[in-house]
Chain A
Amino acid sequence: MDDDLVFKALADPAMRQPLDSLHARGGQNLADLTTGHDMTRQAVTKHLKLLEKANLVVSEKRGRERLHHLNPVPIHEIADRWIGKFQRAPLRALADLRQTLERKDS
């Protein structure tokens, strides 16, 4: 998947808003996602299309309506990609410290 699409989507408050809404309650249709927000149906449709392209939202057809769900996998992949890297530094520092201390003992 294209990480740029994920970051672009997450950087935009107008895109995070439907994500927050779907996080609170999955399986909403377009009308649910438009109600209570000062965004037009067209704007929400456009945002949902981009969110689906980024794989942050998945939709399914149920009867006559389309229901949307938050897909947490791309966000998890981003976390995996960098959190793991950051954790390696303190571990390496500890290993270095141990080597240094053990060398002094011998």
Chain B
Amino acid sequence: MTSRFFYVTYIRTTPEKLWAALTLPEHTKVYWTCWQESDWRQGADWKLYLPDGRLGDSGRVLEIDPPRRLVLEWRNEFMPELAAEGASRCTVEIEPAGETVKLTVVHEIDRDASKLITAVSGGWPMILSSLKSLLETGHALPTQPRP
């Protein structure tokens, strides 16, 4: 059995801006307080750092197709109970939807009643609401994404 959580939100922005907001540290630090380190190439290492600088999660870039699709292998690194569950998978999909962009985040793991999935499921809605309001109000975000 797979534990899987889905999050879908519609944001008035462009796929390019949304991609930048999801990947660049200067953006994620604003609405997520965490930041990621990666070369953003298929097979590259991926690391997520907590606000205090500790390593929170790590893994690899499994698939990447900017600004449409990103699949990460995601292991918890800072809570032994969750780390013991091994690798989860986080899929991010961005699709134009009229004047908005549809953002889908799926976080899943191949096991029943996963504590890791329960833990991240509380965080994602908060992160995505915050991201949406930042992108839509333009507050604290540059208007043009960087390459």
Residues of A near any B CB (own CB < 8 A): 1, 26-27, 55, 58, 60, 69-77, 80
In the complex, the answer to whether B132 meets A71 with C-beta atoms within 8 Å is no
For residue B42, CB closer than 8 A to chain A, the reply is no
For residue B40, CB closer than 8 A to chain A, the reply is no
A58 CB, nearest partner CB in chain B, Å: 5
For residue B4, CB closer than 8 A to chain A, the reply is yes
Instruction: Please tell me which one of the listed residues B4, B9, B121 contacts residue A27 in the complex, with CB atoms under 8 A apart.
Output: B4
For residue B48, CB closer than 8 A to chain A, the reply is no
In the complex, the answer to whether A73 meets B2 with C-beta atoms within 8 Å is no
In the complex, the answer to whether A76 meets B6 with C-beta atoms within 8 Å is no
In the complex, the answer to whether B129 meets A60 with C-beta atoms within 8 Å is no
Apart from A27-B4, A55-B10: 7 A-B pairs, beta carbons within 8 A: A26-B3, A71-B6, A71-B8, A73-B7, A73-B128, A74-B9, A77-B129
For residue B49, CB closer than 8 A to chain A, the reply is no
Contacts A26-B5, A80-B133 given: A58-B10 contact, CB under 8 Å?
no
Residues of A contacting B: mostly: mixed
For residue B120, CB closer than 8 A to chain A, the reply is no
Contacts of B79-116 to chain A: CB distance below 8 A: 104
A50 CB, nearest partner CB in chain B, Å: 16
CA A58 – CA B8 in complex, angstroms?
7
CA A51 – CA B53 in complex, angstroms?
40
CA A66 – CA B102 in complex, angstroms?
20
**B residues within 8 A CB of A70?**
6
CA A73 – CA B128 in complex, angstroms?
8
For residue B44, CB closer than 8 A to chain A, the reply is no
Instruction: Please tell me which one of the listed residues A1, A58, A77 contacts residue B104 in the complex, with CB atoms under 8 A apart.
Output: A58
Task: Identify the 6 closest CB pairs spanning chains A and B, nearest first.
Answer: A76-B125, A69-B6, A73-B9, A58-B6, A72-B125, A58-B8
In the complex, the answer to whether A76 meets B8 with C-beta atoms within 8 Å is no
In the complex, the answer to whether B5 meets A69 with C-beta atoms within 8 Å is yes
